[in-house]
Structure formats: structure tokens, C-alpha cells
Amino acid sequence: SQKIEQNSEALNIQEGKTATLTCNYTNYSPAYLQWYRQDPGRGPVFLLLIRENEKEKRKERLKVTFDTTLKQSLFHITASQPADSATYLCALDMVSSASKIIFGSGTRLSIRP
Amino acid sequence: DARVTQTPRHKVTEMGQEVTMRCQPILGHNTVFWYRQTMMQGLELLAYFRNRAPLDDSGMPKDRFSAEMPDATLATLKIQPSEPRDSAVYFCASAQSEGASTGELFFGEGSRLTVL
């Protein structure tokens, strides 16, 4: 069956540390992978997109990796801050399936001061 | 400040009633998605359109749900009749898609539906 799994429902880390979130998928072949942030009561907000032929993408304190062999993406937030606390969602951009975008269940990240 | 607009933001209704949710995508965007979010199921894809044509609505219960784009500035999601299990937050998202990839999605703030 097709699945997108994000590591642990919740992740708690100390301010200043690097947060690493995992997105694993099975039986999909996405051409692109995206990461979104969602705050309570709000819609998701786009953060980063990485293509299948890219190994790594960076934006300020964010870094995303994409390993199509392992079928895994890692999302890193360096020098984490309490303001980074939110739910983070990975999404597969399925070019081969009429460009549908499907989401993982999300990881709730809490950064404690 | 371009944004996706959804109405209503909140809706409480009784089982069996018809519910219509509306979405105004960002001007110029050619792709519109409807998602439903619950604690148990996360963000589920219901239907999506490219250039107003439906591409996939396999995630939608066909017997009671329908999605349309009467014009480029309006997408609608209708539930008739509504049931308590339809209670969720419904999100609309739009994108300016080029080629095969959809690209970045811009989400609205959602319509929170409660069916009693």
C-alpha cells in the first residue's frame, strides 16, 4: 500500500539545538518533495521544495535532503527557536499522477526555551 | 497581498443539511486543490482542478460530495446530505502550475465544519 510517514507525532527539543524531522514514503515516485509549516488554526505555509535530482536544499536556517533510493527526506532546523514551534508537513508532488500533491500526517515540533 | 479566500470560516449544521464551501484562488493561479483535515486522518486530498478541469476526485465520497469550478475565480465544495463524520476543517489551496509539476501551494485559512 502507499504510505507517507513522518517520524513521531511530536518532537520536543531545547532551544538552540538542531531539530531533525523525517519523512518516509513507500510505493510512490515523487518528482518533487515539499515541506510546509502549519500553526494552530491556520492553513499550511510553504517552506521549501526539492527536486528528485537534488540532494540538498537550504534556506536560511532550514535544510532539506531528498534520497530517492531510501525514499526519505530529512528536514533540519538549525539554531532552533521557540518561534519554530509548529506542525511540519511533508508533501509529495506526484508528477506521474497528474501532479497531485499528497501530505504526510505531520510532526508537531516544540522548542523549549 | 494576494491570498486564497475561503468562506465560511465556521459552519455548524445539522445532519442531513446541505453545506457549500467556497474558495477564491489567488488571481492568475490555474490549479486548485480541496483538502480535508482531521486529527485522525491528517490532510486528505479530496479533489483538484487544473485550468478549471477536474483532474482527480478519487479522494471524495462521490455519493454526497461534489466539487466544481464554475469560473476561474471560484471553486465550490458541496456536501449533500451532511453527516457527523464530515466534521473537519476543509482547506482550499491554489498554485500557479507550469509543466508537469504543481509547485508551491498557497492555502486558505480553512472552513471549520461541525455537523451535529
Average pLDDT over residues B48-60: 90
Place of cell 508537469: B100
For A4-13, A80-89, B23-32, which range has the lowest pLDDT when averaged over its residues? A4-13
| Residues from chain B contacting residue A32 (CB–CB below 8 Å) | 101
Residue B10: in which H helix or E strand, if any?
Answer: strand B10-13
**What is d(CA B99, CA B115) in angstroms, rounded to the nearest whole number?**
39
CB contact (8 A) between residue B100 and residue A31 = yes
User: Residue A1: what pLDDT?
Assistant: 67
Among the listed residues B75, B93, B78, the one whose alpha carbon sits nearest the alpha carbon of residue B13: B78
**Position B30 pLDDT exceeds 90:** yes
State the Cα angle at A51 between A107 and B25, rounded to 5°.
70
State chain B's mean pLDDT as an integer.
Answer: 94
CA angle B14, B20, B23 (to 5 degrees): 140
Q: Which pLDDT score is estimated for A31?
A: 84
Q: Which three cell numbers stand for residue A84?
A: 519554530
Query: Looking at residues B50-59, what average pLDDT do you find?
Result: 90
**Please, which residues bridge with residue A22 across strands?**
A74
What residues have CB less than 8 Å from B54, skipping those under 6 apart?
B47, B48, B67, B69
Interval A42-63: pLDDT, tens: 999 999 999 988 989 999 999 9
Q: CA-CA distance, A50 to A72, in Å (whole number)? A: 12
pLDDT of A21 reads 96
Distance in angstroms (rounded) separating the CA atoms of residues B116 and B16: 9
User: How far apart, in Å, are the Cα atoms of A63 and each of A18, A35, A99, A105?
Assistant: 11, 10, 24, 20
User: Chain B contacts of A101, Cβ < 8 Å?
Assistant: 33, 45, 102, 105
Minimal-distance CA residue of chain B relative to A37: B107
Contact A45 B107 (CB under 8 A): yes
Q: What percent of chain B has pLDDT over 90?
A: 83
CB within 8 Å: B104 and A46: yes
Chain A contact for B104 (CB, 8 A cutoff)? yes
Largest CA distance in chain A: 44
Q: Edge-to-edge strands of the sheet including A72-77?
A: A3-6, A19-26, A72-77, A62-67, A56-59
Q: What is the pLDDT of residue B86?
A: 97
Question: Quick one: pLDDT at residue B2?
Answer: 85
Contact assignment for B56 to A98 by CB distance below 8 Å: yes
- Tracing cell 480553512 back to the chain, one arrives at B110
